[in-house]
């Protein structure tokens, strides 16, 4: 039986959607050649989908750099967009220079992998958080890890998740260059070509050393790193992985096992162009998913804020949206609303994975380009956070001694009410964006105008908080003491909400 082979350049494995909505799979070169006629990449798993986008961005950026055409500013992105598609010759010369590194099962330099002859094999299930493996949390599948096998196409897609989403894995197993996964943001163009161009990173002032994209890197990962380059970060190698292929009687290739070991680790603070960051006095951290917090609640840091400070004195912090978002608005795509995807995976900041998600927003360009208007929207989001705090406090007051002896009961009722509160506010968020986008971005702040612009949003905060308080009150006792607590808590909640909205 011949050695398994799978050329990721030419064999179909990247799931794409055509302009007419048709689904298909293409190799890397065909995906890029037809990018102008494709709508998007589409995969059921958000982490796979973003991983594929990032892989293609790295491929394009490295090819442009090889050709001496690396974009440096938004004007360069605008020029690329005007071309309408990739030049075929750009990738032909680049691929020829790379050499034999695109075979998924290559003998010497398999694609995105490291040959490890002496390493013990492990179930491939450990590569995908959705699969129960070892001590990983079981989500919706309950099968023995050693029985799970995938096709070569599926295995290649899994490899694309390593650089952006690899978590810590215990002693000696570091996460990827951004630490625990953050919320990755992806501006979307009118076709796949525009999307890839819009997400080309321009930031290079932090680049240091001679690191290259993974398939051009001849060093074996496994070192403590203090330097990195942008193109290297896109395909960072926090693990050494080698897929172990097997063929059945019909010569169909399956992957059930892998070799898996520690890769590069780093302590440097890396600013990823697809992540929003929080800057405080001590450190810089990516904006990450949090439990029971839908992504839209972080729309300020993810979409709108550019060095907008919050807090006072020692507790002052600053949020900055991803570079790719700022670049996309700077390009100005004919004034159409910007469509932006966000991809998140929530962990315990170590190796446990709890959930992953994808959200899509349409952001009016006027709002995305104005720091002042973006800050006003963020102020309204913070007002909603205060409304949620008032609701929690009000529910707490319904219990004897504010539930000091029954924290679990309080938590379940309060969480249910708060989820409903935020679900209701989510329906008001897009109208809020549209309302502030209609303001003059250069006009001075007029408190009366700002309050009028946010009036529907503020009314929703009041109505939803009171509505959910009354829902919680239905579950309370009806004796005299309980009724007294209800009247007092209701009056206190109304008073607090009036202060929040004033």
Tokens of 154: 């599926």
Owner of token pair 């206190």:
492
Residue 385 three-state SS: helix
Q: Which secondary-structure segment (H or E) carries 26?
A: strand 23-26
For residue 241, tell me if it sits in a domain.
no
The answer to whether 30 touches 136, Cβ cutoff 8 Å, is: no
Q: Strand pairing of 14-18 and 38-41? A: antiparallel
For residues 51 and 167, the answer to whether their CB atoms sit within 8 Å is no
What's the confidence (pLDDT) of residue 250? Answer: 62
Q: In this structure, is residue 412 part of a structural domain?
A: yes
Strands (E), 131-181: 150-151
Give how far Cα 120 sits from Cα of 3, 107, 113, Å. 21, 18, 15
Per the domain annotation, does 476 fall within a domain? yes
- Do the Cβ atoms of 342 and 186 come closer than 8 Å? yes
Q: Are 392 and 421 in contact (CB under 8 A)?
A: no
* Distance from C-alpha of 174 to C-alpha of 166, rounded to nearest angstrom: 8
117 inside domain: no
Q: Is 492 exposed, middle or buried (0-12, 13-18, 19+ CB in 10 A)?
A: middle
Q: How far apart are CA 98 and CA 262, in angstroms?
A: 25
CB 374 within 8 A of CB 367: yes
Mode of pairing for the β-strands spanning 23-26 and 338-347: unpaired
Looking at residue 26, its pLDDT comes to 98
Q: Domain count of the chain? A: 1
Q: At what angle do helices 407-437 and 371-396 cross, to 10 degrees?
A: 160
Measured distance CA(228)–CA(230) in Å, rounded:
7
Domain that includes residue 453, residue range: 370-502
Question: Residue 42 in contact with residue 49, Cβ under 8 Å?
Answer: yes
Instruction: Give, in order, the Cα–Cα distances in Å from 186 to each of 37, 42, 290, 325, 447.
Output: 19, 13, 19, 8, 34
The CA distance from 370 to 444, in Å, is 13
Residue 405 lies in a domain: yes
3-state secondary structure of 460: helix
User: In sequence order, what E strands does 203-330 have?
Assistant: 224-225, 239-247, 253-262, 265-266, 277-279, 284-286, 306-310, 317-320
| Cβ neighbours around 39 below 10 Å, total | 18
User: Which residues lie below 8 Å from residue 95, measured CB to CB, with a gap of 6+?
Assistant: 9, 29, 102
* pLDDT values of the chain reduced to their tens digit, one per residue, 502 residues: 578 999 999 999 999 999 999 999 999 999 999 999 999 999 999 999 999 999 999 999 999 999 999 999 999 999 999 999 999 899 999 999 999 999 999 999 999 999 998 889 999 988 888 776 655 655 556 667 778 889 999 999 999 999 999 999 877 789 999 999 999 999 999 999 999 999 999 988 899 999 999 999 999 999 999 999 999 999 999 999 999 998 765 668 999 999 999 999 988 889 999 999 999 877 899 999 999 899 999 999 999 998 655 555 556 788 999 999 999 999 977 767 789 999 999 999 988 899 999 999 999 998 999 989 999 999 999 999 999 999 999 998 888 766 555 656 677 888 999 999 999 999 999 999 999 999 998 888 899 999 999 999 999 999 999 999 999 988 777 788 888 889 999 999 999 999 999 8
CATH number at residue 423: 1.10.132.100
Instruction: Classify residue 170: in a domain, yes or no.
Output: no
414 occurs within a structural domain: yes
Residue 301 contacts residue 288 (beta carbons within 8 Å): no
Is 87 inside a domain boundary?
Answer: no
Q: How many Å apart are CA 125 and CA 437, to the nearest integer? A: 46
């Amino acid at each position: 039986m011949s050695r398994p082979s799978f050329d990721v350049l030419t064999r179909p494995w990247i799931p794409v959607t055509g302009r007419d909505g048709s689904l298909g799979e293409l190799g890397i070169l065909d995906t890029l050649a037809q990018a102008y006629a494709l709508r998007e990449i589409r995969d059921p798993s958000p982490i796979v989908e973003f991983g594929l986008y990032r892989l293609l961005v790295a491929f394009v950026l490295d090819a442009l750099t090889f050709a001496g055409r690396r974009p440096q500013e938004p004007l360069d992105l605008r020029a690329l967009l005007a071309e309408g598609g990739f030049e075929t010759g750009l990738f032909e010369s680049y691929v020829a220079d790379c050499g034999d590194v695109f075979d998924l099962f290559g003998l010497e330099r398999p694609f995105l992998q490291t040959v490890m002859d002496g390493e013990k094999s492990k179930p491939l299930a450990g590569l995908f958080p959705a699969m129960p493996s070892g001590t990983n949390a079981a989500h919706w599948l309950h099968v023995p890890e050693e029985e799970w096998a995938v096709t070569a196409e599926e295995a290649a897609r899994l490899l694309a998740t390593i650089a952006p989403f690899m978590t810590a894995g215990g002693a000696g197993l570091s996460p990827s260059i951004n630490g625990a996964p953050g919320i990755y943001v992806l501006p979307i163009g009118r076709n796949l070509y525009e999307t890839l161009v819009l997400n080309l990173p321009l930031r290079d002032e932090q680049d240091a050393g001679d690191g290259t994209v993974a398939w051009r890197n001849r060093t074996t990962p496994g070192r403590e790193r203090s330097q990195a380059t942008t193109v290297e970060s896109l395909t960072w190698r926090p693990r050494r992985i080698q897929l172990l292929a097997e063929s059945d009687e019909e010569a169909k290739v399956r992957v059930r096992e892998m070799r898996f070991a520690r890769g590069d680790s780093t302590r440097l603070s890396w600013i990823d162009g697809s992540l929003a960051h929080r800057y405080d006095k001590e450190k810089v951290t990516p904006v990450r998913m949090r439990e029971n917090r839908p992504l839209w609640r972080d729309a300020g840091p993810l979409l709108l804020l550019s060095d907008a400070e919050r807090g006072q004195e020692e507790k002052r912090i600053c949020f900055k949206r991803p570079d790719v978002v700022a670049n996309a608005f700077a390009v100005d795509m004919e004034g159409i609303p910007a469509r932006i995807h966000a991809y998140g995976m929530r962990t315990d900041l170590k190796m446990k994975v709890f959930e992953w998600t994808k959200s899509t927003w349409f952001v009016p360009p006027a709002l995305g380009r104005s720091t002042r208007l973006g800050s006003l929207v963020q102020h309204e989001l913070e007002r909603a956070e205060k409304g949620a705090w008032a609701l929690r406090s009000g529910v707490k007051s319904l219990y004897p001694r504010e539930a000091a002896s029954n924290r679990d009961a309080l938590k379940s009722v309060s969480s249910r009410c708060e989820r409903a509160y935020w679900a209701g506010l989510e329906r008001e968020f897009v109208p809020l964006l549209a309302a502030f986008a209609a303001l003059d971005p250069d006009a001075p702040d007029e408190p009366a105008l700002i309050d009028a612009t946010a009036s529907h949003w503020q009314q929703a905060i009041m109505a939803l908080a009171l509505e959910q308080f009354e829902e919680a009150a239905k579950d309370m006792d009806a004796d005299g003491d309980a009724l007294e607590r209800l009247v007092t808590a209701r009056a206190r909640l109304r008073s607090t909400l009036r202060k929040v909205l004033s």
